[in-house]
């Protein structure tokens, strides 16, 4: 008799747990339109901030905190043959590249001296190349194709160096 009660108690617990699982799995009721509108406005505001020109200080933060750190992690993880980690570092560089197009700095030398960097054809090309080479590196690192990854890493380095020669101020 005690076993029957125990079995019945276990069955009741299972049913209760199943009911809780069903309730948790249900979608939340639709939110009202005002909350959705506020979210859309916030999203649009963030997108507009992404289009705003980037000051020298913001650009330096991007380059020194995101890109430089990712570049160092890329090289370390490539040496250790840690494909996913090296690829993640390259992904950060690729993601940072379009942000560089908002740089408000000026050309340092040549016929376009003192014009905005972000308006220069070569600057735009270097940013596009940087993104492409970083994406290529990530693809090759994830596959473990280290010869191709190394070639892409060298192209990233060359692209950065060429751009720095023209657009990075010498302190």
Is the pTM higher than 0.85? The answer reads: no
Q: Measure the CA–CA gap between 136 and 156, rounded to whole angstroms.
A: 10
CATH top-level class for 41-167? mainly alpha
Please report, for the chain, the start and end positions of each structural domain, with discontinuous segments joined by +. Answer: 41-167
Q: Measure the CA–CA gap between 150 and 154, rounded to whole angstroms.
A: 6
pLDDT tens, N- to C-terminus, the chain (171 residues): 676 766 666 666 666 666 655 445 555 545 555 666 666 665 554 454 457 898 889 999 999 999 999 999 999 999 999 999 999 999 999 999 999 999 888 887 788 888 888 888 989 999 999 999 999 999 999 999 999 999 999 999 999 998 888 777 665
Three-state SS letters, 83-121: HHHHHHHHHHHHHHHHHHCCECCECCCCCCCCCEHHHCH
Give the model's pLDDT for residue 68. 95
Q: Measure the CA–CA gap between 113 and 128, rounded to whole angstroms.
A: 21
Burial of 167 (0-12, 13-18, 19+ CB in 10 A): buried
Q: Measure the CA–CA gap between 71 and 93, rounded to whole angstroms.
A: 7
Per-residue pLDDT of 111-127, as tens digits, reads 888 888 888 898 999 99
Whether residue 119 contacts residue 108, with contact meaning beta carbons closer than 8 Å, is answered with no
Name, in order, each residue with C-beta under 8 angstroms of 124's C-beta and a sequence gap of 6 or more.
101, 118
3-class DSSP assignment, residue 19: helix
């Amino acid at each position: 008799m005690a076993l029957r009660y125990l079995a019945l108690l276990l069955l009741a617990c299972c049913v209760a747990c199943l009911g809780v699982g069903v309730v948790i799995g249900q979608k939340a009721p639709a939110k009202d339109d005002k909350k959705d509108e506020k979210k859309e406005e916030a999203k649009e505001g963030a997108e507009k901030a992404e289009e705003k020109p980037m000051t020298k200080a913001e650009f330096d933060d991007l380059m020194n905190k995101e890109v430089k750190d990712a570049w160092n992690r890329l090289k370390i993880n490539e040496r250790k043959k840690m494909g996913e980690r090296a690829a993640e570092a390259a992904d950060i560089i690729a993601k940072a590249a379009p942000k560089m197009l908002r740089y408000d700095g000026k050309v340092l030398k040549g016929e376009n001296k003192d014009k905005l960097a972000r308006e220069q054809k070569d600057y735009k090309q270097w940013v596009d190349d940087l993104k492409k080479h970083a994406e290529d590196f990530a693809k090759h690192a994830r596959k473990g194709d280290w010869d191709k990854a190394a070639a892409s890493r060298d192209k990233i380095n060359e692209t950065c160096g060429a751009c720095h020669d023209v657009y990075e101020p010498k302190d």
